[in-house]
């Protein structure tokens, strides 16, 4: 969840795990100064600062402190598979995808901080005033927006951090159903972002206003 000062702008990035956030952080660091970015847990959160959800980061960064806040959303099933490949690639599990997914989704239900907030629903990281980007469109729209908002020249973009190794997985029906149930709000937001004629970096408030699905999620996402 770094803060970045680039030129005369302060940006707050809500880094949702496995949505390209490490690459975005590296891009911002190449253009300015980064703060609130620690690799270890601090006393004020059970997660590392990179992966704080909104209930924590809204206490540290007020709505008026930064010039703009933003985040990236990813299809929940794709995000879950990416998380699995990442853990498998690091040698943290030898399970096949479906047994691993059942275990991790079960743990997340009892403790959302599981795997340093990597399993937490994406909606938990958002504030309504944030701009949201669709991971499926790639990271160039994010970098373009950062450049334009800060009125700075583009930096090197050959940045790929924490990329999960490629691996095909077969998804069991019960895992697909459980993922849809646990991440239903995320799926509705993604559908709203893609179906509302939204451009890159659409304000979440606009997405909510444009589609019935997003409006219906208002009471279940953030109590701001």
- Give 41-56 pLDDT, tens digit per residue: 666 677 887 788 888 8
At residue 209, the pLDDT reads: 61
Question: For the whole prediction, is pTM greater than 0.85?
Answer: yes
At residue 91, the pLDDT reads: 95
Residue 103's closest CA among 38, 9, 111, 8? 111
Do the beta carbons of residue 149 and residue 11 sit within 8 Å? yes
Confidence band of 36 (pLDDT split at 50, 70, 90)? confident
Do the beta carbons of residue 51 and residue 115 sit within 8 Å? no
Render pLDDT for 180-215 as a digit per residue (tens, 0 to 9): 999 999 998 888 888 756 667 778 777 666 555 554
Q: How far apart are CA 156 and CA 153, in angstroms?
A: 10
At residue 2, the pLDDT reads: 83
Query: In this prediction, what percent of the chain has a pLDDT beyond 90?
Result: 60
Cα 37 to chain centroid, rounded: 15
The helix/strand count (H/E) of the chain reads as 11, 6
Q: Please name each of the domains of the chain with its CATH number.
A: 3-221 (3.40.50)
**CB burial of residue 217 (10 Å; 0-12, 13-18, 19+):** buried
Instruction: Give the CA dihedral 111, 117, 123, 124, nearest 10 degrees.
Output: 70
Cα 65 to chain centroid, rounded: 21
> Residue 70's beta-bridge partner residues?
13, 131
**CB burial of residue 13 (10 Å; 0-12, 13-18, 19+):** buried
Backbone angles phi, psi at 196, to 5 degrees: -100, 10
How far apart, in Å, are the Cα atoms of 98 and each of 9, 185, 190, 208, 221? 44, 22, 23, 33, 27
Between these two residues, 224 and 168, which has the higher pLDDT value?
168
**CB burial of residue 24 (10 Å; 0-12, 13-18, 19+):** buried
At residue 39, the pLDDT reads: 66
Mean pLDDT of the chain: 86
């Amino acid at each position: 969840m770094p803060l970045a000062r680039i030129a005369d702008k302060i940006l707050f990035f809500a880094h949702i795990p496995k949505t390209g956030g490490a690459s975005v952080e590296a891009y911002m660091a190449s253009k300015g100064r980064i703060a609130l970015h620690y690799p270890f847990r601090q006393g004020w959160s059970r997660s590392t600062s990179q992966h704080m959800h909104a209930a924590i980061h809204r206490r540290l960064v007020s709505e008026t402190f930064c010039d703009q806040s933003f985040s990236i959303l990813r299809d929940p099933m794709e995000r879950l598979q990416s998380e699995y490949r990442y853990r498998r690639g690091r040698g943290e599990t030898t399970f096949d995808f479906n047994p691993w997914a059942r275990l991790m989704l079960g743990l997340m239900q009892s403790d959302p901080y599981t795997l340093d907030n990597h399993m937490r629903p994406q909606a938990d990281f958002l504030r309504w005033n944030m701009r949201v980007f669709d991971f499926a469109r790639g990271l160039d729209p994010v970098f373009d927006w950062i450049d334009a908002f800060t009125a700075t020249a583009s930096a090197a973009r050959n940045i790929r951090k924490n990329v999960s190794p490629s691996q095909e997985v077969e998804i069991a029906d019960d895992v697909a159903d459980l993922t849809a149930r646990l991440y239903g709000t995320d799926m509705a937001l993604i559908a709203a972002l893609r179906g509302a004629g939204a451009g890159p970096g659409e304000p979440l408030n606009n997405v909510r206003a444009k589609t019935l699905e997003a409006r219906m999620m208002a009471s279940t996402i953030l109590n701001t």
